[in-house]
Structure 1
Amino acid sequence: MSADAFAAAVGKGAAMTRPRLIDALRIGLVFGVIEAITPLLGGWLGQVAQGHVEAWDHWIALVLLTGLGVHMIRAGLAPVDETAAPASPAWWRVPLTGLATSIDAFAVGVGLAFVDVPIGVAAAVIGACTFVMVTFGVLVGRALGVLAGKRAEVLGGLILILVGIGIAVEHVRAG
């Protein structure tokens, strides 16, 4: 379940200007917490939302990730104004990306509501694995960003779009 979050983190790390370990840990924490909360919410809403979540989760993820990806690509292709003050990073991108990649965890939580699995333990494991994978993904993305320079943001945007397409294709094929 953390593979899509890892791919998004690689894109995020590539787009960031030399993220430090503390930055990677923070992003990993945001993704991990969101990824742990969503199956809990899914389990809580289990019987009520199952049909609706499974029918739309992949489309929601596709739209969110494509929108973020297009935004990153546009920013990566924009000319650099050397005289402008550096822009502060958009704080909302990290949790929104984390939410977009964790919609499948919500659907898993819905499924766990119908089997004899301690959902709190499952959510904690999902969150911990996502934390580790996203932290590592940001650091891998940093290495790629150094190689790609300013165009790393374009690469990161393309990765987010491909993750969204992959989620949608996986769910359509399964259906």
Structure 2
Amino acid sequence: MWFDLVLSALCLGVALAMDAFSVSLTNGLAEPCGTRRRAAVIAGVFAAFQTAMPLLGWLLVSTVAKQFERLAPAIPYVGFGILLFIGGKMLIEGIQEILEKKKAREAGEEPPVVCAVARITLPALLIQGVATSIDALSCGFDFVDFNWYQALIAAGIIGVLTFGICFAGVFIGRKFGTKLAEKATVFGGGILIVIALKMLILDGILSL
């Protein structure tokens, strides 16, 4: 059980942090003279949302499962569908962005770079945190068999991973711009698809 908890949390943490990592790259590009404290604030906001959203998802799905026990067997399939959709969407968007940038380079044009303002305001940073963590809400489906402290530990692992990845992303963005952003999205989408298949096969089909 604990092995499954840690493994799921690690995989989800890396996958879910990819959107936040991509945004952290652009934030780093927009604030080339930012301090370590500033990078920690940016990473902390993303980590807080990535921790809270899976917990909220777990709370919702646990409540539904307890009140409507007949729905419990369908939860892995619902989770599979949601994660497959999100992962597929991330994968497609990442590939499209790579192709667009490649086409722009072949045409001798500078690929467009999405950049934040010179200094990201707190409201803007909070909006970024919400936008990049919405996908994490559905990951409560993967925690349905956990009790409250196991779900808390799993969410904590996701939060710590997100903080580290985003903290590094800010500094990478300052040095290398946003060249890694679209690859991060593809990587994250691929991991979510793998997790979706794991839910379908292990939690769904094999549990029948």
TM exceeding 0.5: yes
CA-CA distance at 1:11 after TM superposition: 3.0
CA-CA distance at 1:21 after TM superposition: 0.7
Structure 1 window deviating more from structure 2 (2-11 vs 37-46): it is 2-11
Given the superposition, is the C-alpha separation of residues 136 and 170 from structure 1 closer, same or farther in structure 2, using an over 3 Å criterion?
closer
Q: Distance in 1 between matches of 2:119 and 2:174?
A: 18
Give the secondary-structure state (helix, strand or coil) at the position aligned to 1:18.
Answer: coil
Q: Distance in 1 between matches of 2:121 and 2:79?
A: 28
Match of 1:29 in 2: 44
In the alignment, structure 1 residue 134 sits paired with structure 2 residue 149: no
Match of 2:138 in 1: 107
Q: Distance in 2 between matches of 1:74 and 1:134?
A: 19
Size of the aligned set, in residue pairs, is 151
Output the aligned Cα RMSD: 3.9
Deviations 1:104-148 (A, max 9, x none): 42222222023457301111121112112211211121122xxxx
User: Does structure 2 retain, via aligned residues, the 8 Å contact 1:54–1:107?
Assistant: no
* 5+ residue gaps, structure 1: 77-85, 145-151
Given the superposition, is the C-alpha separation of residues 159 and 102 from structure 1 closer, same or farther in structure 2, using an over 3 Å criterion?
farther
Given the superposition, is the C-alpha separation of residues 139 and 75 from structure 1 closer, same or farther in structure 2, using an over 3 Å criterion?
closer
CA-CA distance at 1:18 after TM superposition: 2.0
User: Does structure 2 retain, via aligned residues, the 8 Å contact 1:38–1:103?
Assistant: yes
Q: Distance in 1 between matches of 2:21 and 2:181?
A: 10
Question: Among the aligned pairs, what percent are the same residue?
Answer: 24
CA-CA distance at 1:94 after TM superposition: 2.6
> Under a length normalisation based on structure 1, what TM-score does the superposition of the two structures give?
0.60
Structure 1 window deviating more from structure 2 (20-29 vs 39-48): it is 39-48
User: Does structure 1 retain, via aligned residues, the 8 Å contact 2:50–2:158?
Assistant: yes
> Under a length normalisation based on structure 2, what TM-score does the superposition of the two structures give?
0.53
CA-CA distance at 1:15 after TM superposition: 2.9
Match of 1:79 in 2: none
Match of 1:17 among 22, 32, 35: 32
Q: Distance in 1 between matches of 2:144 and 2:180?
A: 32
Q: Distance in 2 between matches of 1:165 and 1:93?
A: 25
Q: Distance in 1 between matches of 2:120 and 2:129?
A: 16
Match of 1:42 in 2: 57
CA-CA distance at 1:102 after TM superposition: 2.5
Give the secondary-structure state (helix, strand or coil) at the position aligned to 1:17.
Answer: coil
